[in-house]
């Protein structure tokens, strides 16, 4: 079945906490192997191994953290052209709401698109006025129920897409296409 990598950078632990919830969400779909790796320990092998990837970054000046950017910069000549078609998404912790976490998600998705990853957002609402269109976002650590739910939903959706598009388990399609059979 599918291999799922949750890769994150975290200077003070907030994105790391999000990552554990993303991993919990991914684990809710049976049959996959889920790996949780910090950017300090992850290698090319982890990236090549995965079918689905969630990348978490602290929002730094509205963008992806320098460590996460460096990871992909340094890997680029080794993996570019070899990871096309893997499924990917993003999540980010910022200092405050409105601090640019969605921009950091989109910056991360743009970086992944450059490698040929198939990136996605999520249309679901996980609480009142709370969604994750560009990836899961929190201010500081995920604490409120809907913040934790957003992280879990992102991981779950990643695992669902891997099940559908990599494993061919069409019955796990979460969206309206499923109704069409």
Which residues, 121 to 160, sit near ligand FMN by CB under 6 A?
A: 140
Q: How far apart are CA 175 and CA 170, in angstroms?
A: 11
Alpha helices, H only, the chain: 14-27, 44-49, 66-79, 101-114, 145-165
Q: How far apart are CA 60 and CA 148, in angstroms?
A: 21
Output 3 or 138, the one with its CB closest to ligand FMN. 138
Output 95 or 116, the one with its CB closest to ligand FMN. 95
Q: What is the DSSP letter of 98?
A: T
Which residues, 44 to 73, sit near ligand FMN by CB under 6 A?
A: 58-62
Output 58 or 155, the one with its CB closest to ligand FMN. 58
Its sign, for the CA torsion 61, 142, 33, 35, is positive
Shortest Å, Cβ 154 to ligand FMN: 16
Of 6-14, 27-35, 74-82, 106-114, the window that binds ligand FMN (rule: CB under 6 A) is: 6-14
Nearest one of 87, 98, 74 to 158, comparing CA atoms: 87
Shortest Å, Cβ 18 to ligand FMN: 8
Numbers of helices and strands, H then E, in the chain: 5, 8
Name the residue number minimizing CB distance to ligand FMN: 99
Of 4-12, 47-55, 67-75, 124-132, the window that binds ligand FMN (rule: CB under 6 A) is: 4-12
Which residues, 105 to 124, sit near ligand FMN by CB under 6 A?
A: none
Its sign, for the CA torsion 162, 163, 165, 170, is negative
Output 3 or 57, the one with its CB closest to ligand FMN. 57
Q: What angle do CA 67, 45, 105 make, to 5 degrees?
A: 40
Asked if 95 interacts with ligand FMN (CB under 6 A), we say yes
User: Which residues in this chain contact ligand FMN in the complex, by CB under 6 A?
Assistant: 10-16, 58-62, 93-96, 99-100, 140
């Amino acid at each position: 079945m599918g291999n799922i990598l949750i890769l994150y950078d975290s200077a003070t632990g907030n994105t790391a906490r999000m990552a554990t919830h993303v991993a919990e969400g991914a684990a809710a779909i049976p049959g996959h192997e889920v790996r949780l790796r910090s950017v300090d320990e992850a290698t090319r092998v982890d990236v090549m191994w995965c079918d689905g990837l969630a990348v978490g970054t602290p929002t730094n000046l509205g963008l992806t953290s320098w460590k996460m950017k460096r990871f992909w910069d340094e890997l680029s000549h080794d993996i570019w052209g070899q990871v096309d078609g893997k499924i990917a998404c993003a999540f980010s912790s910022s200092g405050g709401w409105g601090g640019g976490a969605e921009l950091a998600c989109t910056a991360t998705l743009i970086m992944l698109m450059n490698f040929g990853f198939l990136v996605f957002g999520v249309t679901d609402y996980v609480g009142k006025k709370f969604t994750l269109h560009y990836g899961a976002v929190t201010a500081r650590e995920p604490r409120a129920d809907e913040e934790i739910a957003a992280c879990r939903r992102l991981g779950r959706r990643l695992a669902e897409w891997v099940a559908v598009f990599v494993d061919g388990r069409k019955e796990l399609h979460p969206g309206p296409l499923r109704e069409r059979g």
